[in-house]
Structure 1
Amino acid sequence: MKHLDLALIHAPSVYDFRKHTYVNYGPISDVIPSKPIFDMYPAGFFSLASYLEERGIKTGIYNIAAKMVNDPNVDVARLIRQIDAKVYGIDLHWLVHSHGALEVAKLVKEITGNPVVLGGLSSTYYWREILENYPFVDAIVLGDTTEPIFYQLLQKLEKGLLEELKEIPNIAYRTKDGKIKFTGLKYVPAELDELRPKYDIVVKVMVRSGVTLSLPWSTFLKHPVTAVITYKGCTYNCLACGGSHFTYSVIFQRKNLGIKKPETLFEEYKEITERLKAPIFFVNDLQVLGKTYIEKLTKLLSSEKQDLEVFFEFFVPPPREVLELMRKASERVYLQISPESQDEEIRRHYGRPYTNQTLKTFLRNAKQLGFERIDLYFMIGLPGQTVENVRPIGSFFEELWQEAPNTVDAFVAPLAPFVDPGSIAFHKSAKYGYKLYAYTLTDHRKLLLAKNWHEMLNYETQWLTRREIAEATYNAVESLAKSKHKVGLIDDEYYAAVIQSISLARQMKKAGVFDSKETLKEEELYPMKKIVLSYLTPRLAWEIIKYKFTA
């Protein structure tokens, strides 16, 4: 592989998961595209690679987790030896990677001896513990926006100027004499337009790295889904969320949202669709940016007249006038919202302040306006939930189905595996009905090696033990599956497979083990085409050929 200035590496949740065959992941990753080892890397890899490449930093992206899924026999140590870079950057964004990220960091250090840098929200939260206990990590870039920070850091590291890192904000590092330094989390930009990913550069980096080595997740080629990050930060305070307003403002020092202009989001959209005819997910609820913002964006999107799926998500049900604007964005517009629970009080307590009637009105409006699909997400492990009171999720779904028949779908999964460090519930667990089993990074690493998936959870509630959270999850999945089968949303074969999986899990429970597989097929989450090549455009094919010889 070509010599690089920086190699960006994504590790599996557990390294080496192939050797930990006793670990049962269950349904913990049911509602995301990646596998239970969480093989999807952060979207920030694209913006980081774009920013650095534009400034002459030769960058590569290596999804080791996805490669290990797709090629179970791959020799990871040998693969790392082939990645020739001056500096290695490893994401520890989601805490579920706390085992794998650090084990891969250790392996990289042992093999190359070169600087190893971590980044991401979880590494920001645990920066001191990492530098004190894991000597193979040299530095950590802190905060939710690191592109300029990483650029400055690489310039210093390339010149061997370790002692001059104190001049860079948002850095924690270890000096040559072993002292730990922290420069303060000072860079928190309010405008993100200049930091957007440039997809011609992304393609170049992926071709240079090897397309099969740089896939966003293991099955991306089967059902590609792309994403546009609309803003950073949040205005809501869901209890267990590490991306809540509380966490961003207190831990990551983001007092206000980091925003891109509508024109910037449109440019990202265009650059993606020029290369890939795949669904595009606009991440975060645009309602917090105001109706005028949505109007500008959807007007731009509608001017393209693209025949592809566009996803918008909501944190609270939108009014009809917002839906009318979004319906114009594309020929096919899909919507997502997470009611979390069918119980209004449980939902409100968790941080989703709206009623069931408001939800039904939203679904009815969306159906009338011709939206093709509305996905609802429910969660198990919330304060107030019990083994039995989650069963009405199925009947509640049937009520919602009446508002938007043949349009609404629903999914349910445990709050898994962790109450996020930095969240309100993590810092005030007893007040909000949680009991935590882990606080330190090291303790969370140990949980990930638990034999049963419910033992990986770092929490239980006053109403549910960890084992009961598993029971409640299967009750909810069963209830929802029965109702989806009843209305004709899933066929007999699929329904029988789900029920059989739950039955097996309950049988194993009697032996003291919760053994189960994921209960959701990947194709349920996002639309899929039978011919994979139909996603590709001539421009992407040409760029792949061009960069094969020039990257």
Structure 2
Amino acid sequence: MPQTDFILLRISDTYDFHKLPFLHVPQNEPRNSHAAGMPFIDLFAVVSRLEKAGYRERVIDLPYRMARSKRFDVESSIKKLEAPVFAIGMNETVQVRDALEVARLIKKYRPESRTIFYGCAAIHFHLGLINYPDVDCVMRGNFDGTSAAQFMQAAVVGRFSKIPGLVWKEKSGRVRQNELSADFASPNLNVTEYYTSVAGQILRYRAFDSAALLKRWLHHPEISIFKTGCAASPLFVSQETSGELPAFRAPEDVYRDIAELCRFSPAPVSIKGDIRMPGENYGERLLSLLQHRPVANQLVLELGDAAPAFFIQEIARASPGFRLNIAPGSHDESVRKMLGHTYSNRDLESTIESALRAKVQSVEILFLIGLPGQTAESVIETTIYCEYLLRRFDGDRRLSLSIAPCSLPCSSPLLESPESYGFKPRFRTFEQRLDALALPGWKDRLEYQTAEMSTEQIAAATYGSLIFLVRLKAKYGQLPYRKSEEIVANYARGIEMSYRLDEIIKNGRTDELASLKPEIDRINDYAAGSHQNLSLPLMMMRPQNLLALGKAMAESNPWRR
């Protein structure tokens, strides 16, 4: 096996999920949703930069390996790995505990190796993470190809003081924090370079982790208007909540990335972030580029606010058959206002109407449960508002309504002071949060509640509203009746399991948890399997996609090493 200089580990939300029983958050019925792709872009950018710098990098995708075989053992796999540097990426809070466990295993078998944590969750929890003995460094800035190459050079001599945004330990154990850089590098995509790195890893290690990630990304491509890889939902990013808006990429760079993705994939391309947010005609400039040099793929756009009819028409001209995602959070305008959004329900409905008239392929409206100012009664009123929308738009199948418990993403500026916006943190210390992540019930792992709703009320409202919404869609012909009753039955099993888990934890009978795993897996698997598979087989690729793919593979020349 060739020597490896740098290993990037991608971890799951639930460490060693084949063995541990965790009841997942209940999901909506099938809808057109995209898997998060931004972390993949960051990963490939790092790998490509290290490859060009002459390092032998390797990607290990633990969720991919666990999904392929129930006999896969995480510890045995890590025991076989060897490299001077292990980088562990984590973008969600639920991954923190698992990342620390993976770091412990690395240090157990490779105590001389350095571990570095990166990603949105690492940025948010850097002060807690760095105090663990198995964590050598945490990147609280943007971890891109440049910083990864800098880290490799610094690791040789053990001098890390020049790497912007790095939190690290001296030999004495003293924690040091380097200054953040105000200059966020945001290189354009180069899928050909990504294929080069993937081909090299396949030949060197006979492993397909990076190839599987690249395939998933091209099946669900995403690009961002933000310079950093941590992009929060527009619902949680506004001038009122953020104070200072994040740094944005130039619309010309965003367009180049869209065009590059469309060369290799026919799948819809999601643009993360409301393109009107940067101001200064940013959205108009991007749409103008798309109108004058159109791409063949559909575009999926996010709106953090209602949009006037003329703007929707401009989107339709730039991307016929576009898709639109809007997250009002609540039907209650006063609840939205607490998050800095002042548009009315009339404005929201006008936006939906304009999109449907512009021949949008789908409009997804996401409501949340557990927002500040929201009560259990308000959640019921939200579901009634959902029926009003379906009735107003004649049950149009292009209108997709969803509801889910609120979870603040690690990239949200609200996390800097959640109490000032009405969120009540359930955990005061980093260790309390880690302990909660080990609990089997999803409501026990929620980080926040509000003055109006406890976690128990959030859970009850979630199941109740999901059941109501599923039957509502069956009533308006958006979902077959038999399918809707199957989904409702699975929600009922989830409710019953939640009660059983509460009783087991309350009475200290944790030895019974293992026996519940098969039943919990069936509940989770049904919810996961209910989502539409948007993967595109080879036969659905356009000729120009196949041509670009063949050219990239030819240019990659993986035999050079």
Counterpart Cα distance in 2 of 1:188 and 1:258: 9
Counterpart Cα distance in 2 of 1:336 and 1:525: 17
Normalising by structure 1, we get a TM-score of: 0.85
Unaligned runs of 5+ in 1: 250-254
Unaligned runs of 5+ in 2: 504-519
Q: Give matches, 1:281-430, under 5 Å.
A: 281-290=270-279, 292-303=281-292, 305-401=294-390, 402-403=392-393, 405-416=396-407, 420=410, 423-424=413-414, 427-429=417-419
1:252 maps to what in 2? none
Establish whether residue 258 from structure 1 lines up as the match of residue 247 from structure 2: yes
Residue identity over aligned pairs, in percent, reads 20
Establish whether residue 189 from structure 1 lines up as the match of residue 183 from structure 2: yes
Matched letter for residue 75 of structure 1: D
Counterpart Cα distance in 1 of 2:423 and 2:273: 26
Matched letter for residue 20 of structure 2: H
Distance 1:411 1:364, change over 3 A: same
Q: Give matches, 1:161-172, under 5 Å.
A: 161-162=157-158, 164-172=159-167
1:117 maps to what in 2? 116
Distance 1:320 1:49, change over 3 A: farther
1:202 maps to what in 2? 194
Counterpart Cα distance in 1 of 2:264 and 2:214: 20
Counterpart Cα distance in 1 of 2:325 and 2:495: 31
Q: What are the superposed Cα offsets for residues 417-466 of structure 1, whole Å, 9 maximum, x if unpaired?
A: x675975366352x544332213333222111112111111222222221
Matched letter for residue 139 of structure 2: V
Note the C-alpha offset of 1:511.
Answer: 4.3
2:19 maps to what in 1? 19
Note the C-alpha offset of 1:13.
Answer: 2.1
Counterpart Cα distance in 2 of 1:277 and 1:238: 25
Secondary structure at 1:167 match in 2: coil
Establish whether residue 466 from structure 1 lines up as the match of residue 448 from structure 2: no
Counterpart Cα distance in 2 of 1:98 and 1:237: 18
Distance 1:298 1:550, change over 3 A: farther
Matched letter for residue 540 of structure 1: L
1:435 maps to what in 2? 424
Counterpart Cα distance in 2 of 1:81 and 1:533: 40
Matched letter for residue 101 of structure 2: E
Establish whether residue 214 from structure 1 lines up as the match of residue 210 from structure 2: yes
Normalising by structure 2, we get a TM-score of: 0.83
Establish whether residue 477 from structure 1 lines up as the match of residue 466 from structure 2: yes
Counterpart Cα distance in 1 of 2:272 and 2:345: 24
Establish whether residue 537 from structure 1 lines up as the match of residue 546 from structure 2: yes
Secondary structure at 1:378 match in 2: strand
Q: Do 2:91 and 2:410's aligned partners in 1 also have CA atoms closer than 8 Å?
A: no
2:511 maps to what in 1? none
Matched letter for residue 225 of structure 2: T
Matched letter for residue 266 of structure 2: K
Q: Bigger shift: 520-529 or 203-212?
A: 520-529
Q: Do 1:10 and 1:41's aligned partners in 2 also have CA atoms closer than 8 Å?
A: no
Note the C-alpha offset of 1:339.
Answer: 1.0
Note the C-alpha offset of 1:114.
Answer: 1.4
Counterpart Cα distance in 2 of 1:285 and 1:421: 15
1:277 maps to what in 2? 266
Q: Do 2:323 and 2:362's aligned partners in 1 also have CA atoms closer than 8 Å?
A: yes
Counterpart Cα distance in 1 of 2:75 and 2:200: 20
Matched letter for residue 13 of structure 1: D
Note the C-alpha offset of 1:477.
Answer: 0.7
Q: Do 2:290 and 2:318's aligned partners in 1 also have CA atoms closer than 8 Å?
A: yes
Q: Do 2:37 and 2:222's aligned partners in 1 also have CA atoms closer than 8 Å?
A: no
Secondary structure at 1:274 match in 2: helix
Matched letter for residue 62 of structure 1: I
Q: Do 2:139 and 2:167's aligned partners in 1 also have CA atoms closer than 8 Å?
A: yes
Secondary structure at 2:63 match in 1: helix
Note the C-alpha offset of 1:89.
Answer: 0.9
Q: 1:103 aligns with which of 101, 104, 129?
A: 101
Note the C-alpha offset of 1:86.
Answer: 3.0
Note the C-alpha offset of 1:226.
Answer: 0.6
Q: Do 2:259 and 2:295's aligned partners in 1 also have CA atoms closer than 8 Å?
A: no
Q: Do 2:122 and 2:140's aligned partners in 1 also have CA atoms closer than 8 Å?
A: yes
Matched letter for residue 103 of structure 2: A
Matched letter for residue 121 of structure 2: S
1:176 maps to what in 2? 171
Q: Give matches, 1:61-140, under 5 Å.
A: 61-112=59-110, 113-132=112-131, 134-140=132-138
Distance 1:375 1:263, change over 3 A: same
Note the C-alpha offset of 1:148.
Answer: 2.8
Q: Bigger shift: 463-472 or 419-428?
A: 419-428
Q: Do 1:87 and 1:117's aligned partners in 2 also have CA atoms closer than 8 Å?
A: yes
Matched letter for residue 121 of structure 1: C
Q: Do 2:242 and 2:413's aligned partners in 1 also have CA atoms closer than 8 Å?
A: no
Q: Do 1:392 and 1:479's aligned partners in 2 also have CA atoms closer than 8 Å?
A: no
Secondary structure at 1:169 match in 2: coil
Counterpart Cα distance in 2 of 1:337 and 1:455: 28
Secondary structure at 1:374 match in 2: strand
RMSD: 3.5
Note the C-alpha offset of 1:45.
Answer: 1.3
Note the C-alpha offset of 1:198.
Answer: 1.8
Matched letter for residue 411 of structure 1: S
